[in-house]
Amino acid sequence: MNYAVIMAGGTGKRLWPLSRKTRPKQVLKLFQGQNLLRLCFNRLSPIFDARNIIVLTNSGYSDTVRESVTGLPYNNVIAEPVVRDTTGAIGLAASILAKFDPDASMAVVTADQVIEPSEVFQQAIKDALTFINANPDRLITFGINPTSPSTQLGYIKCSAPKKCPNCKNEIFTVDSFKEKPSEETARRYLAEGKYFWNSGIFVWKAKTILAHINKYLPDAMEPLRKIAGAWDGPNQEQALNDFFPKLPKISIDFSVMEKAPGVHAIKLDCRWLDLGSFAALADIIQSDKNNNIVVAEQSELLDCESGVFVTEDAGHLIAGIGLENMVVAHSPDATLVCPVDKAYRLKELLELIEKRTGDKFL
Q: In the structure, what pLDDT confidence band is assigned to residue 275 with cuts at 50, 70 and 90?
A: confident
DSSP 253: I
Other beta carbons within 10 Å of 159? 11
Mean pLDDT of 236-258: 95
pLDDT tens-digit map of 166-224: 999 999 999 998 888 888 898 998 888 889 999 999 999 999 999 999 999 999 999 99
d(CA 167, CA 129): 10
Has residue 10 got a pLDDT over 80?
no
The residue among 225, 321, 338 whose CA lies nearest residue 329 is: 338
Q: Of the ranges 10-19, 122-131, 151-160, which one carries the lowest mean pLDDT score? A: 10-19
pLDDT tens-digit map of 80-118: 999 889 999 999 999 999 999 999 999 999 988 888 899
More confident residue, 335 or 344: 335
pLDDT of res. 153: 85
Q: In the structure, what pLDDT confidence band is assigned to residue 12 with cuts at 50, 70 and 90?
A: low
d(CA 90, CA 95): 8
Q: Say which amino acid occupies 53.
A: I
Has residue 247 got a pLDDT over 90?
yes
Highest mean pLDDT, choosing among 26-40, 178-192, 228-242 = 228-242
Residue 262, C-beta contacts closer than 8 angstroms, at least 6 positions apart: 135, 137, 138, 139
pLDDT of res. 11: 67
Cα 266 off chain centre by: 18
**Residue 349 Rama label (left phi>0; alpha psi -120 to 50; beta):** alpha
pLDDT of res. 158: 94
* Cα–Cα distances in angstroms (integers) from residue 31 to residues 27, 38, 53, 200, 296, in the given order: 10, 10, 22, 22, 11
Domain locations along the chain: 2-274, 280-357
Other beta carbons within 10 Å of 84? 21
pLDDT of res. 31: 75
Contact 106, 93 (CB under 8 A): yes
d(CA 312, CA 329): 9
SS (H, E, C) 290-305: CCCEEECCEEEEECCE
Q: Of the ranges 56-70, 149-163, 256-270, 276-290, which one carries the lowest mean pLDDT score? A: 276-290
pTM (2 decimals)? Answer: 0.88
The domain defined by 2-274 folds into Spore Coat Polysaccharide Biosynthesis Protein SpsA; Chain A (3.90.550)
Q: In the structure, what pLDDT confidence band is assigned to residue 283 with cuts at 50, 70 and 90?
A: confident
More confident residue, 276 or 108: 108
Q: In the structure, what pLDDT confidence band is assigned to residue 262 with cuts at 50, 70 and 90?
A: very high
Q: Of the ranges 9-13, 119-123, 155-159, 179-183, which one carries the lowest mean pLDDT score? A: 9-13
